[in-house]
Amino acid sequence: MAREPGVPGDPGTGEPAVSFERPTGSLVGSLLVATPLLRDPSFERTVVLLVAHESGGAMGVVLNRATEVPVSEVLGGWGGLADDPAVLFEGGPVQPDSAICVARIRAGVDGQGADRPTGFQPFFGALGTVDLGREPEPLREQVDAVRVFAGYAGWSPGQLEEEIEGGSWFTFEALPQDPFVTRPDDLWTVVLRRQRGLVAAVATYPTDPTLN
């Protein structure tokens, strides 16, 4: 379940999703929300932001599993840019010793063209990944949100599509603030509750249904 390497590269209430035209058939920039059918401990009740999705596979980071390790403890000056809580997040089970930084550029900053911030690689709308090998200070005036993830979730070609079809994941549009919420433990419930229809009721599903 979403473990294979070798793949590419406060929540809102009514704000529009990030505006950007994604490639046909791609879910990049979308949220994967684990359904109650997904009992794998690595992904149970997780919310995953897809940062890559193409014919070669898919890659994402888990948004709602914060650690107690401060970003500043392992990445120095990047801790000063990290959003509250300014800790590392468990991005997924693949390469947990690696770090991926997701950032949101400020309004008015060109994140798509040749003049985009140095080290910023856009993947959807105002969201992009940042090269942690560079000095963080030059980005301070160009990005307004930063989060650092240890490891990532990866899917081989066709694997994610099979999991979605099999009922393991809901797919929803992301809001610009979703990767940077201050209460990540609540994100699974919040994302489900803001959906329409019966899906919203899933937010009340008990962690252990056998206790009811």
Residue 172 belongs to domain with CATH number: 3.40.1740.10
Q: Do the domain assignments include residue 22?
A: no
Q: Do the domain assignments include residue 174?
A: yes
Q: Whole-model pTM?
A: 0.87
Cis peptide upstream of residue 85 (ω within 30 degrees of 0): yes
- How many domains does the chain fold into? 1
pLDDT at residue 13, as a whole number: 34
Q: Do the domain assignments include residue 96?
A: yes
C-alpha atoms less than 13 angstroms from C-alpha of 71 in its C-beta half-sphere: 25
Q: Do the domain assignments include residue 21?
A: no
Q: Do the domain assignments include residue 45?
A: yes
Q: Do the domain assignments include residue 15?
A: no
pLDDT at residue 20, as a whole number: 47
Range of the domain at 59: 30-205
pLDDT at residue 22, as a whole number: 57
Residue 45 contacts residue 206 (beta carbons within 8 Å): no
Place of tokens 């590419």: 8
Q: CB-based contacts of 62: which residues, under 8 Å, 6+ apart?
A: 43, 46, 47, 48, 89, 90, 91, 92, 149, 153
Q: Do the domain assignments include residue 134?
A: yes
pLDDT at residue 115, as a whole number: 76
Along the 212 residues of the chain, how does pLDDT read in single tens digits?
443 333 333 333 333 333 445 566 799 999 999 999 999 999 999 999 999 999 999 999 999 999 999 999 999 999 999 999 999 999 999 999 999 999 999 988 887 777 788 899 999 989 999 999 999 998 999 999 999 999 999 999 999 999 999 999 999 999 999 999 999 999 999 999 999 999 999 999 887 665 55
CA nearest neighbour of 45 among 202, 175, 210: 202
Q: Do the domain assignments include residue 12?
A: no
